[in-house]
Amino acid sequence: MIRSRSSPKPDQQTIVVKSAVASRLLLLSLILLWRTLLSPYDTSASLNPNCLNQHPSPPHAHAHPNPQQQPPLWPTLASAIESSVVWDGVYFVRIAQCGYEYEQSYAFLPLLPLCISMLSRTVFAPLVPVIGQRAVLGLSAYVINNIAFVFSAVYFYRYSESLYALFSVGGLYHLISGKNSIAVLWLALSGCARSNGILNAGYVCFQTMHLAYVAVLRKRPVLAMQVICGGALRSICIFAPFAAFQAYGYYNICLGHLPNEMRPWCKARIPLLYNYIQSYYWGVGFLRYFQLKQLPNFLLASPILSLAVFSIVQYAKSEPEKFFSLGFRASAEDKNSAAVLFSLEANLRANNSHVKENSSRKVKENHDLRPKKQKVKEEAPPLLLEPHEALANRGYLSVFVLPFILHMGFMAATAFFVMHVQVSTRFLSSSPPLYWFASYLMKSPGSYRRWGYMIWAYSAAYILLGSLLFSNFYPFT
């Protein structure tokens, strides 16, 4: 049975927001505590040489020029904020301040630096004389990421990197809610925040594959082609920001140089700057991290990878036909619980509903004066389940979860075989099945529940240890 949409209860959503805010405050408190008690492993975080280009060209228009500035009025606070900018934050703040100066900086996509720059030039601009420009940039980054974390928690309840998580999870919520246009916009923005955002096109491909299959079975080839073309167009839109950024890098680094002066990647048949940077500067590649000296990093990543693998194996063992058929052999009842992924009618009605919703809402509110009981009887058939309703009704083993499982499996395999494996926790943290599976274990009887408590204990230890080591520039991620 397909039920009508309903929003989460306001009090439950308020609890989610309060919990997210409380977790951020706790984490910031721990970071301040550990920064007070422990000296940073790497003290170079506060170094800030002048920008290479004091007057950025139009493509760098979002960057701050770096003229000689007066000393800040509150140097102690300025130094504290600047020294707290560590790891990838150093690159993001530098890009926001100076633009893309070096080849390796193109590994960091522009959405977060652009947001940092905009906030520092507007809301926090009066603080520049007080704590200095770089400290304001760092403060802007903290505010953006923490606000994005709270909103991403709300979206996750309703159905990087906090900014990536916000647009990724928010985009998936809108996709599962049948709002394709909004979903594409959000997922495209996730690709502006992190390169793995382009993998979110996989959800669109999964949906398109099943809808086209239904159209073919019903001998409607024209509709099947429309579905395929629509899915391809939405996927291209999700890829577009990443592709545009690669073209931007090619324009800045490769054009205007003689062949013997070009960087090696400029001469490639498909000149992908991002892949070259990851391989050349950080040694990223298939099995390149499989070295004995990297064993501690594999141990560091083992809890999150084990949880991901266990969640996939549990799904495959419990629903092998559904899993190995990619959902094609799921029951009709199961497919109805995820109608937005499998039902042509539900998608067509959802699209029509969203087009007419805004224009008709005021008319219905102002002119429909029929008695309430009569109105309820004449309501149109319901369309789609809300994501949180689908999970509540069908559980972790629902076909609704399958595309998320496949997406997480690809990401986990990439993290283990290709990437620096120690970033797996951060890389997989925006995968919803991890949290759904942990909740599934907690609701299961016997030994499964004990595993759930172990996951809780690991999460608490990770927060405590991570806030200590990561904020002090120790090798932990």
Tokens in use for 339? 């109608």
pLDDT for residue 47 is more than 80: no
Q: Which residue intervals of 326-422 are DSSP H helices?
A: 332-337, 339-342, 344-367, 372-377, 387-394, 402-417
Query: Please, how many CA atoms are within 13 Å of residue 86, restricted to the half-sphere of its CB?
Result: 20
pLDDT for residue 360 is more than 70: no
pLDDT for residue 99 is more than 80: yes
* Chain mean position to CA 452: 24
**For the chain, how far is it from start to end, CA to CA, in angstroms?**
44
Greatest mean pLDDT range, 267-271, 309-313, 473-477: 309-313
* The pLDDT value given to residue 254: 93
* The pLDDT value given to residue 367: 46
Q: Which residue has the higher pLDDT, 85 or 116?
A: 116
Give the residue carrying structure tokens 């905009």: 118
* The pLDDT value given to residue 157: 67
Residue 476 phi/psi, 5° resolution? -150, 130
* The pLDDT value given to residue 14: 83
* The pLDDT value given to residue 387: 52
Q: Which residue has the higher pLDDT, 85 or 40?
A: 85
pLDDT for residue 422 is more than 70: yes
pLDDT for residue 123 is more than 90: yes
Q: Which residue has the higher pLDDT, 49 or 119?
A: 119
pLDDT level of residue 55 (50, 70, 90 thresholds):
very low
pLDDT level of residue 161 (50, 70, 90 thresholds):
low
Quick one: which of 476, 435, 40 has its CA closest to 300? 476
* The pLDDT value given to residue 19: 84
Q: What pLDDT digit, counting tens, does each position of 225-238 carry?
A: 999 999 999 999 99
pLDDT level of residue 56 (50, 70, 90 thresholds):
very low
Please give the share of the chain, as a percent, with pLDDT higher than 90.
Answer: 52
pLDDT for residue 323 is more than 70: yes
pLDDT for residue 328 is more than 70: yes
Q: How many CB atoms lie within 10 A of CB 452?
A: 18
pLDDT for residue 314 is more than 70: yes
pLDDT level of residue 46 (50, 70, 90 thresholds):
low
Side chain identity, residue 138: G
Cβ burial 385-404 (10 Å sphere, 16+ → b, else e): bbbbbbbeebebbbbbbbbb
Q: What pLDDT digit, counting tens, does each position of 281-310 carry?
A: 999 999 999 999 999 999 999 999 999 999
Tokens in use for 275? 């892949």
Q: How confident is the model over 333-338, as a mean pLDDT?
A: 87
* The pLDDT value given to residue 10: 53
- Element housing 208 (H / E): helix 201-217
- Contacts by residues 313-322 (CB-CB < 8 Å, ≥ 24 positions apart): 314/437, 315/396, 315/397, 315/401, 315/402, 315/405, 318/397, 319/397, 319/399, 322/399, 322/402
pLDDT for residue 116 is more than 90: yes
Which are the contacts of 303, defined by CB distance < 8 A and separation ≥ 6? 425, 458, 462
DSSP codes, 81-103 = HHHT--THHHHHHHHHHH-S-SG
What three-state secondary structure class fits 259?
A: helix
Q: Which residue has the higher pLDDT, 253 or 361?
A: 253
Measure the CA–CA gap between 29 and 40, rounded to whole angstroms.
Answer: 17
Measure the CA–CA gap between 366 and 364, rounded to whole angstroms.
Answer: 6
Side chain identity, residue 273: L
User: What angle, rounded to 10 degrees, do the helices at 402-417 and 201-217 form?
Assistant: 140
Cβ atoms 234, 180 nearer than 8 A: yes
Measure the CA–CA gap between 436 and 51, rounded to whole angstroms.
Answer: 45
Q: What pLDDT digit, counting tens, does each position of 362-387 carry?
A: 445 444 434 444 443 433 434 454 55
pLDDT level of residue 83 (50, 70, 90 thresholds):
confident
Measure the CA–CA gap between 65 and 319, rounded to whole angstroms.
Answer: 57
* The pLDDT value given to residue 463: 85
* The pLDDT value given to residue 240: 96
Lowest mean pLDDT among 46-50, 196-200, 438-442: 46-50
Q: How confident is the model over 93-110, as a mean pLDDT?
A: 93
* The pLDDT value given to residue 59: 41
Considering just the CA atoms, what is the radius of gyration of the chain in Å?
24
User: Helix %, strand %, coil % for the chain, to 5?
Assistant: 75, 0, 25
Q: What pLDDT digit, counting tens, does each position of 10-44 carry?
A: 567 788 788 888 888 888 888 888 877 877 776 66
pLDDT level of residue 450 (50, 70, 90 thresholds):
confident
* The pLDDT value given to residue 129: 94
Q: How confident is the model over 168-191, as a mean pLDDT?
A: 93
Q: Name the burial class of residue 142, with classes exposed (0-12), middle (13-18) and buried (19+) by CB atoms within 10 angstroms of its CB.
A: middle
* The pLDDT value given to residue 98: 93
Lowest mean pLDDT among 4-8, 120-124, 385-389: 4-8
* The pLDDT value given to residue 357: 54
Measure the CA–CA gap between 458 and 454, rounded to whole angstroms.
Answer: 6
